[in-house]
Amino acid sequence: MNATVDGVIRVAADEKIDADVHHGGVLEVAYTPAQLARLRAFHEAELAYGEDDRTLQGARETAERIRVAGAVGSSWTPHGARLHPVKLVKGLAAAVEALGVTVHESTPVTEIKPKHAITPYGTVHAPYVLRCAEGFTASLKGQRRTWLPMNSSMIATVPLPADVWETIGWAGRETLGDMAHAYMYAQRTADDRIALGGRGVPYHFGSRTDNDGRTQPATVDALREILVRFFPQLTGVRIAHAWSGVLGAPRDWCATVTLDRATGLTTLPWVNHRVRTGEPEPLRWLGVHGMYATYRAADHKELRSHTADAPRRARLADRLSGRGA
């Protein structure tokens, strides 16, 4: 997985795709005692997987990278890069088209059967059909409960001036995450904005997916609150953009690959891993919304508490959602 980061960067360079790539690594910060306990456990688990170039940092070293208000520690790995996904995907499309590949857009597959992809305009026959529809998998016939379509939302500030960047640091342009239960993620963009994301409305009833990117004002406010909690000097900063998209979460949050004849992958934990389907409605909607309400309440409690233990309700939500498995 770490090698794929270098692989993406190499392909972008070889194909002369300017996708604002910066290989600055990933910084995961903790800003409560309970988050610090989770950060240490996470760090140890990563080391056990052989990630021996990962470093655990105290408050001072964390601030030398990014001055996140109240940060008490962080874990940094070099295996991560910032990029601009739309520039990358457009560049890749142009590169494969130049090789003679035809990219068919606006052709929805409605159902997949062995060796058949069925569309309103006809059926495509192929020895292998790859189902790569992420959260949109729910729109395929018979797949409504296979993957949970989870919404994620982002905001981007206006470009910030140099004097503000001096107060924040972030010269290494690491990608940034935290150890909250309802976690955030952020990058310093090539044009010096902060793009920050997290969970908005987590799930729509009946696995419905939006695909126009519209973002509710309440979600923008919640993300702005996180931005200002991290960087209080940004109170009042203008949010230039907001966007929401969908990703697919298996019921147990474990990745799966079912077939790869070319590489002969057979021993990695996700090969042929079977995921059970999600619950029927209304249990599904109630479950996801209940889980995120619980995580947010737990995050608020941890901000006020001085203990390293996650609240009981967060541990229970982890067990029910499968994330604690």
Rule CB under 6 A: which residues touch ligand FAD? 108-109, 132-134, 136, 139-140, 152-154, 185, 197, 245-247
Quick one: 240 or 320, whose CB is closer to ligand FAD? 240
- How far apart CA 141 and CA 112 sit, in angstroms, is 8
Token output for 227: 């931005």
The distance of closest approach from Cβ of residue 253 to ligand FAD in the complex, given in angstroms and rounded to an integer, is 13
Query: Least distance (Å) from ligand FAD to the CB of residue 136?
Result: 3
Query: Strand, helix or coil at 137?
Result: helix
Compare residues 196 and 310 and give the one whose CB is closer to ligand FAD.
196
- Residue with the shortest CB distance to ligand FAD: 245
Q: Give 108 or 324: the residue with its C-beta nearer to ligand FAD.
A: 108
CB of 298 to ligand FAD, least distance (A): 22
Q: Nearest approach, Cβ of 63 to ligand FAD (angstroms)?
A: 23
Angle at 223 between CA 188 and CA 242, to 5 degrees: 70
The minimum distance between CB 141 and ligand FAD, in angstroms, equals 10
Strands 26-30 and 175-178: parallel
Distance of CA 222 to the CA centre of its chain: 17
Residues 6+ positions from 232 with CB-CB distance below 8 Å: 69
At its nearest, how many Å lie between ligand FAD and the CB of residue 154?
5
| CA end-to-end distance (rounded Å), the chain | 21
Token pair recorded at residue 46: 């990563």
Closer to ligand FAD at the Cβ: 149 or 311? 149
- Closest to ligand FAD by CB, 38 vs 199, is 199
CA 186-79-82 angle, 5° bins: 35
DSSP code per residue over 80-105: --B--HHHHHHHHHHHHHHTTPPP--
Is residue 29 within 8 Å of residue 176, measured between CB atoms? yes
Nearer residue to ligand FAD within complex by CB, 248 or 322:
248
